[in-house]
Amino acid sequence: MVLSLCLFFTIFVSAQEDCINIQRPKVAVVLSGGGAKGFAHIGVLKVLEQEGIPIDIIVGTSMGSLIGGFYSLGSDNPLI
């Protein structure tokens, strides 16, 4: 009887720990190259911020890397 109660409480506690340690998926944004597309990247990043979508990783090529670099400097940046 005591052994079955110990087993029950062990399963119950481990099930609660699994619910607490749920992690959200990481969000990565990939920005492409091209001067005109750079302005579109700024708009997309603004909308993602307004919707509260966190960006964990940002990468880019050419103009996308410049916009990503400016974005990574912080939200007080005049470009974004």
Mean pLDDT by 10 residues, the chain (80 residues): 46 49 82 85 90 91 90 65
Q: List 30's β-bridge partners, or say none.
A: 59
| Burial letters 2-15, b for 16+ CB under 10 A, else e | eeeeeeeeeeeeee
**How far is C-alpha 72 from the chain's CA centre?**
13
Distance CA 70, CA 60 (A): 11
Give this prediction's pTM. 0.62
CB atoms within 10 A of CB 72: 10
- Do 70 and 79 contact (CB within 8 A), yes or no? yes
Domain regions of the chain by residue span: 21-79
Place of tokens 């603004």: 46
Q: What is the pLDDT of residue 28?
A: 92
